[in-house]
Every structure is written in C-alpha cells, then in structure tokens.
Amino acid sequence: MATASSLGLFLDSLRAQLLVRGGLAGVRIFTGPVGDHEIGAENIVFAVDPVDVAQAYPTVPQREAFESYSVEGRIWIVKSGGGETAIKAARDRALAILGEVQSECIGNDTMTTGGAASVRDVLLTSYKLEQAALDAARDCRIAFTLEVKGEYTAP
C-alpha cells in the first residue's frame, strides 16, 4: 500500500500503544470524531479538528519527505456524584490520562509506524482544562496539542 504521509499510520500506532498502557485501562481511545453513543466515562479522542501537514523534500528525486503536523486531542472524563469530591476525582483522572499520553510520547523517540513511514518526535506542547457540572456528575475535559515530526519514503 502506498502512502503519502505518516499521519494515518501515526494515529493507528499511537492508539495501539496507548491501549496497552496500564494507566489507561478502561479508557476508550478514538482516532477521529465519534458520536455521543460511543463515548464512555473515560475517553481520549484524537484528530477531531483538521490536521494540516507541512512537507519538505530535502533530497533529489524527492522521494523522501520530512513532515510536521499538529494533532489535537481531547480527554473527556465524567465522574458520578457532586461536590468537591467528584470535581477532584474527574480532574485528577483527566490529568493522569494526560500524563500517560505525554509519557508515551516522551518515551517513544522513534515510533515506527509502517514500512515506509516513521515518526521521529512527538511532543505535548499545550493543553487547556475545562470543568463542568452535570445533573448528577462532574465533567472534566482537556484539549491538548501534540506536535509531530515524521517522515516517509514514496514508492
């Protein structure tokens, strides 16, 4: 299969690696937008927003491309209950999940994603935390950005 980018393979590989992390047991992980009926109490969703990919071709005959792109991610946690206990539980869990994502990216300097594509660097560069009160639960969401450097070789 020919590829024009490392992006799709990166998303697949990142999901697979996160699914086996002990600290993410029970977390639903998606690589694109999902409906409300698919969301659980603990979720990570990547690439909900458009991903712009910049490519540079440093060699002739321009078969090898170096890429850079930003992948937006969302963590969404819902904890039943109310008051400070539920607020803290939702926020602590969301931040722990963000830590798992960051740890996976930092600990994986070269993420091989397929025969002709690889990812060299993935860094968590920013995040925004939001909290909300639901009828019988507390909601914590973190929107974050992963900056990715990848490369691929065209067939």
* CATH code (residue 87): 3.30.2000.30
pLDDT at res. 113: 59
Whole-number pLDDT of residue 150: 87
pLDDT at 151: 85
pLDDT at residue 104, as a whole number: 92
Per run of 10 residues, the mean pLDDT along the chain (length 155 residues) is: 76 93 97 93 96 86 86 97 95 98 81 71 95 94 95 76
Tell me if residue 111 falls in helix, strand or coil: strand
How many domains, the chain? 1
pLDDT digits (tens, 9 = 90+) for 95-123: 999 999 999 998 765 566 566 778 888 99
Stated pTM of the model: 0.90
The pLDDT of residue 5 is 81
Query: What pLDDT is stored for residue 88 in this prediction?
Result: 96
Which H or E element spans position 46?
Answer: strand 42-46
Q: Are 76 and 30 in contact (CB under 8 A)?
A: no
Task: Tokens 């067939």: give the residue.
Answer: 155
Q: Is residue 15 part of a domain?
A: yes
The residues, any chain, with a CB within 8 Å of residue 129's CB and separated by 6 or more, are 91, 94, 95, 140, 141, 142
Q: How far apart are CA 3 and CA 50, in angstroms?
A: 19
**According to the model, what pLDDT value does residue 64 have?**
83
Tell me, what's the pLDDT at 3? 62
Is 127 domain-assigned?
Answer: yes
- Residue 62 lies in domain: 7-153
Mark residue 62 as left, alpha or beta (left: phi above 0; alpha: psi -120 to 50; beta: remaining): left
Please report whether residue 137 resides in a domain: yes
- Asked, for residue 55, whether it belongs to a domain, the answer is yes
**Unique residue bearing structure tokens 């999902």:** 34
Is residue 1 in a domain?
no
Cβ neighbours, 10 Å, residue 18: 19
Kindly state whether residue 2 falls inside one of the protein's structural domains.
no
